[in-house]
Structure 1
Amino acid sequence: MNRTLMRPRARRSRRLIDGMAALALLGGLAVLLGVQEKKTRVSLAGRGEAIDGDSLRLGGRELRLDGIDAPELHQLCEREGHPYECGRLARRVLAERLARGSVSCDVVGDDRYGRGLARCKAEGKDLNAALVREGIALAYGAYANEEAEARSARRGLWAGSFERPADWRRRHPHP
């Protein structure tokens, strides 16, 4: 419809609708940009320090290895009828891998505690996958093939019995 032929009141209504549509579009763009910003990957590299079997400190930031779950630091497991400190073993294995040289991590998001969720490489190899393949950690949303390989070879945790770390945490809540 030709706007010059519209009545003044109809023109004001049309301008109001056009203005609201423009604001909605701008708001949608702002939300989209905000979401996009949160998904931007951050890369860190350097010497890492093991906190536990699936967490490390790198570049002044605490990171949780994405897609895996290792026994908690004070968790015990069993092998050949004897308990062993599988949580401390997991931290030691991660510490040994980190001590070999520089590690590079892509931070892909944050967990509910504000730690960066990271996919890391040590010696050019996927660190997260290696820990699961060795049976030191379990697949937790990723690395199912590596877990199946460790399980069938009875490596690490799979050589004995253990409680899944998520179940152990539920039974032993953090103070």
Structure 2
Amino acid sequence: MIRVFSVLLTLVCLPAFAAPNGIIRVIDADTIDVGGTRVRLFGIDAPEMGQPCRAEGREWDCGAWARDAVRNRFDGAYARCQQRDTDRYGRVVAQCSVNGQDMGQLIVYSGLAWAFRRYSETYDLDEKAAAIAERGLWAVEVAMPSEYRAARAVDDLAPQQNCAIKGNISSGGRIYHMPGQEHYARTRINPANGERWFCSRADAEAAGWRAARR
């Protein structure tokens, strides 16, 4: 009996995934802040910031376009989330709902992101519905985010695996961007302009760079 009780007590005391709830601030079409917690929406993959869309001879920033559409719909709303995992950047990976509706499902159904089948088939039918109706991304020419990221990675590899902090120089001064931050993916490092990679926050700040605000 003591042994059984000990096992049950251990199970009860195991850490459970948190369930962040709170007001939404949209970062991009598949990443949000919920009550101050950075959340990567589970099962969807949206265009990267700076990734181009093309249609009828025009080209525009597909990531910003999808982000703005998601922002118009969800920014400032109250979300209830169920954590599914944590990604390599330390972000909570979660399914979130607003007024009882699954955010990921609505975003994919609206054609603002794809079902991320590498991790889940949850939104497969919603993506197919968007494709048939030619909604959002299905009405334009755009690469899959995974293909776009792979192409960029060839030209944008950090010199060392553990030195992935980007020290950028812009009109705002010397600013460093951490992996997972809002502008990290679209920030380019040009050593000829004095920009550089850093291995830690301390290294970046000691060299005169300040942290990006988001």
TM-score in terms of structure 1 length:
0.74
Number of matched pairs: 145
CA pair 73-89 structure 1, distance change in 2 beyond 3 A: same
Structure 1, 130-139 or 40-49: larger mean CA deviation: 40-49
Residue range with higher mean Cα deviation, 106-115 or 147-156: 106-115
Residue by residue over 1:68-126, the C-alpha shift from the partner in whole angstroms, topping out at 9 and shown as x without a partner, is 00001111111223212210011112212223521111111111211110101123211
Q: Is the 8 A contact 1:53 1:73 kept in 2?
A: no
Report what 2:150 is aligned to.
Answer: 170
Identity value in percent: 34
Separation of aligned partners in 2, 1:79 and 1:53: 20
- Aligned match of 1:137: 113
Question: Normalising to structure 2: TM-score of the pair?
Answer: 0.61
CA contact (8 A) 2:46 2:113 kept: yes
2:35 corresponds to 1:55:
no
Quote the RMSD (CA, aligned, Å): 2.4
The whole-number CA distance in structure 2 between the counterparts of 1:86 and 1:108 is 27
- Select the structure that is richer in helix: 1
Large movers: runs of 4+ above 3 Å: none
Query: Which of the two has higher C-alpha Rg?
Result: 1
SS in 2 for 1:43: coil
In structure 1, list runs of 5 or more residues that go unmatched: 1-25
Q: Which has the higher contact order (CA 8 A, sep 6+)?
A: 1
Q: How is 1:22-33 mapped onto 2 (pairs within 5 angstroms)?
A: none
Are 2:138 and 1:146 aligned? Answer: no
The 3-state SS of whatever aligns with 2:19 is strand
Is there any run of 5+ residues in structure 2 with no aligned partner, and where? Answer: 1-5, 154-184, 190-214
SS at 1:47 equivalent: strand
